Structure 1
Amino acid sequence: MNTIVDGHAIAHKIKDTLKKDVVKFHTPIELSIIVVGNNAVTNTFVAAKERFASDIGVVLTKKRFSESVSSADLISYIHEVSERVQGIVVQLPLSAHISNKEVLAAIPVEKDIDLLNKETFDKFVANMGVCIPPVAGAVLAILDEHTVSVAHKKIAIIGQGKLVGLPVQKVLEARGGDVVMLHTKTDRNIFRKTLLEADIVVSGAGVPNLIQPDMVKNSVVLIDAGTANAGGSVVGDIAHACAKNASLFSQTPGGVGPLTVAILFKNLLAASE
């Protein structure tokens, strides 16, 4: 049976649980989102977070800076706001002249619910943190919702970045998966052979329609965590035609994306305890 993942429906279940949990806190939970510039795509992502916060009863404050803002000014604001909020998100991308590393490092570890601060990410890798990178959390939510076992399965992950590849590798290996990491410059023969042998494929390369039906086997589980703009539309790494091969397919859009927001707020509540 070919099942298409409904990320919105899974996110809604998480939202209902978080809404019940929020009322158990004696003081309001507040999230600060820092935005640089006025990018339409960024605004869409921020709006999704604002809606989710409102739905579960979390206070969200948004601070927008001009594109010319300095790294020092952003860091100063992070230090200021960290005194009163439980979570801080710096919405990426930032302007080219801003030091992402310095700005993200300014977020206190216990309030870095996106896990973009190096120290926070390293704690996650060492199994010391209470939060999970949102994309990795979204992948686990999809697998759990559809009762997909990872143990002893052959898993191919495309992309080796800190947003998708590395955290997904960490959580799937922790569940006993046999993970092989690939990237867009992997030898094409090795790339195809690994994909064809994989029971589960997770892709976060950001290359439109990188994976085609002849590159995956029947009954494969496909999770697309890649996003790219193609002709004004958001598309993923895995061609939708691959659905005919898949037992389970989380497509872009509508799969991982809605869940990353839900996991972000799940992290916020964990950080607030």
Structure 2
Amino acid sequence: MSGPMACLLDGDAFAASLRQDMAKRVHALSLAGRPLKLVTLLVGDNPASSAYIARKHADCAELGILSEDLRLPAIIDQQRLMAEIARLNADDSVTGFLVQLPLPTHLNEAEALEAVSPAKDIDGLHPINLGRLLAGTPGLLPCTPHAIWKLLTHHDIPLAGRHVTIIGRGALVGRPLAMLLTLKGIDATLTLLNSATPDLADFTRSADVVISAAGVAGLVTASMIRPGATVVGVGISYGADGEMISDIADDVAATAQAVTPRHGSVGAVTRAMLLENLIAIAEAGQALSKGL
């Protein structure tokens, strides 16, 4: 007989409440003569990237933030991409911007991300911002790790002294999330798993919190989770019919205490953290101007 179903970690509702608070901050900045502008730079016409960008611009419209959807053809070379990034760095009307990943395979993603000014890096992925996180003096945080932390704390999931297992060591989620959750004051005990780990379940069964960012459909099953654990699905993949599939199998909800829903949740909060970084940049600029 199965037990009660897990509490759903509803990121959509949480993100909506965050945007309400952010709208007040955006309005205050506008009254102070510091309007915000976000620019997204997309190379090519990746449908998933286009859909995600559209949601970012919808969020901006809701908050009263000016946004620009900059599109470049997939055939551009690295020099043209770098020139566009340099132009956005130099444009004082642009509060922050991002280069939407993935880029076409002929372009160098690492070089592009490093070219973004750390002060305008709303994705939080510049090596300097990641280095600050590693050093324990974080500034602009990478959005998805920040979103996961905020979602867990919002739902009162304890982290200090708890065993958190992350599946996936990628630069966008796994590694920076490990750095974030082990910061002093958060104090999680961390296990970071990867594709070479021989038996994931040996580690996940002992975890208080399991976070999967592997992008493998149904990777985490109920048999891998101890009763009462919290499970967060970040990685997604796509079925033959184009349907988005979570790393977390449906049966996990019968074992876990709390779990993210099959669709959404972390994505909505990730977009909110993007706007949080944008607003933080503007507020820091306002404080600096007052100090002068």
Return the TM-score normalized by structure 1.
Answer: 0.96
Tell me the equivalent position of 2:287.
none
Whole-Å separation in 2 of the counterparts to 1:43 and 1:247: 35
Q: 2:24 aligns with which of 20, 27, 36?
A: 20
Task: Tell me which residue corresponds to 1:219.
Answer: 228
Residue in structure 2 matching 1:183, options 176, 191, 194: 194
SS of 1:197's partner is: coil
Alpha-carbon distance, 1:73 to partner? 0.8
Distance (whole Å) between structure 2 residues aligned to residue 127 and residue 75 of structure 1: 30
Deviation, structure 1 residue 251? 3.1
RMSD across aligned positions (CA): 1.2
Q: Secondary structure at the match of 2:211?
A: strand
Structure 1 segments, 4+ long, off by >3 Å, are none
Q: Tell me the residue number matched to 1:102.
A: 111
SS of the aligned residue for 1:246 comes to coil
1:40-51 alignment runs, 5 A limit: 40-51=47-58
CA drift of 1:58 comes to 0.8
Cα offsets for 1:208-260 (capped at 9, x unmatched): 11111111111110011111112211111111210001111013422211111
Instruction: Tell me which residue corresponds to 2:269.
Output: 259
* Contact 2:129–2:139 (CA under 8 A) maintained in structure 1: no
Q: Deviations over 1:133-179 (max 9, x none)?
A: 11111111211111111011111111111211112111221211111
Alignment match of 1:237 (pick from 243, 247, 264): 247
Q: Distance in 2 between matches of 1:228 and 1:70?
A: 29
1:32 to 21, 31, 39: 39
Counterparts in 2 of 1:235 and 1:137: CA distance versus 1, 3 Å = same
* Alignment of structure 1 residues 162-173 onto 2, 5 Å: 162-173=171-182
Describe the superposition over 1:180-225 as per-residue Cα deviations: whole angstroms up to 9, x where unpaired. 111122012xx21111111100110111111111111111100111
Q: Which runs of 5+ in 2 are unaligned?
A: 284-292
Q: What TM-score, normalized by structure 2, do the two folds share? A: 0.90
Counterpart of 1:120 in 2: which secondary structure? helix
Pairing 1:143–2:158 present: no
Measure the CA separation in 1 of the matches of 2:237 and 2:120: 29
Match of 2:169 among 157, 160, 167: 160
